[in-house]
Amino acid sequence: MKKILIVASIFISLHTSAQGFLNHLKHEKDSLEKVAKEKASAILTGTTAPKLTNEEVIKGLKEALTVGTNNSSTLAAKADGFYKNPKIYIPWPEEAAEMKTKLIKMGLTKKVNDFEMSLNRAAEEASKKSATVFVDAITNMSVQDGFAILRGVDTAATNYLRKTTYNPLKDKFMPVVKEAIATAKVASYWTPLVTTYNKLPNVKKQNPNLDEYVTNKAINGLMLMIADEEINIRKNPVARVSDLLKKVFGN
């Protein structure tokens, strides 16, 4: 009787294990069928992500940067594009901060403010000619790691542009800024201020390179705006204004 009970127990155990195994197989089968149906449906409805060639990625990145730089340049070049945008506003030169403090104490606040406005007007004037400068830089850049940029941080393309084109942009920007500084009459605001300050006793003579200062600030301001445009293109489907951008950034 004892042997019969043992044999019966073994059979019951084997049956339970087999049933569990069959249930596991059924679950796996159902899961595989579900995945297969989803993939088939995606193919039929055209919702599968299109494969991208490296060439398409590079073209898409260049187009995104072209769109971004054009939009940024247009916004920056408008009246008050720099002056009333806290993100890219060009302040009094940092190296002459003490000079600004003393001049304000002397009652020259309005002249200080007028000078700061002239710096921003110069940057706005320069931005009118910046689009072609950026286009040249973008057209001539070689992007070997296109997929890495595409899958990188939200400002990866802008960071790449900044790293690879900042110095060439600066060389091309400088004469544009010099012309803009002359147009905005920056010197007419700066010269009286620096002359007054440098006549004060026991002060360090000041005369920052305004061409260099405005050029760097203008480029950095535009890069910030381009980064915003890149983030918008990456995250907002409406900002993808061409089929290529939709394909590359919607992939």
What DSSP line would sit under 41-105, residue for residue? HHHHHT-SPPP--HHHHHHHHHHHHHHHHHHHHHHHHSTTTTTT-TTT---S-GGGHHHHHHHHH
* CA 234/CA 250 separation, integer angstroms: 8
Which residue did the predictor score with more confidence, 16 or 152? 152
Average pLDDT over residues 80-106: 94
29, 48, 67: which is the final residue of a domain?
48
Rounded to the nearest 10 degrees, how much is the dihedral formed by the CA atoms of 215, 216, 218, 223?
140
The top-scoring range by mean pLDDT among 15-29, 150-164, 182-196 is 182-196
User: In whole angstroms, how far apart are CA 56 and each of 51, 62, 75, 163, 251?
Assistant: 10, 10, 28, 22, 12
Domain that holds residue 106: 54-249
Residue for token pair 């301001």: 221
Average pLDDT over residues 236-241: 88
Exposure string over 41-54, b if 16+ CB within 10 A, otherwise e: eeeeeeeeeeeeee
**Global confidence as pTM:** 0.73
Residue 187 and residue 63 share a domain: yes
Number of domains making up the chain: 2
Residue 8 and residue 83 share a domain: no
Residue 107 and residue 7 share a domain: no
Residue 59 and residue 28 share a domain: no
Q: What is the pLDDT of residue 20?
A: 53
- pLDDT band of residue 100 (cuts 50, 70, 90) is very high
- pLDDT band of residue 161 (cuts 50, 70, 90) is confident
- Lookup: tokens for 156: 């990866």
174 in Cβ contact with 215 (< 8 Å): yes
Residue 106 and residue 121 share a domain: yes
Flag whether pLDDT at 209 surpasses 70: yes
Quick one: which of 105, 106, 127 has its CA closest to 184? Answer: 127
Residue for token pair 């900044």: 162
Flag whether pLDDT at 224 surpasses 70: yes
Residue 37 and residue 147 share a domain: no
Residue 29 and residue 59 share a domain: no
Residue 159 and residue 145 share a domain: yes
Residue 107 and residue 197 share a domain: yes
Q: How many CB atoms lie within 10 A of CB 133?
A: 23
Residue 60 and residue 44 share a domain: no
Residue 234 and residue 119 share a domain: yes
Residue 58 and residue 44 share a domain: no
Amino acid letter at 249? F
Angle between helices 109-127 and 186-198 (to 10 degrees): 140
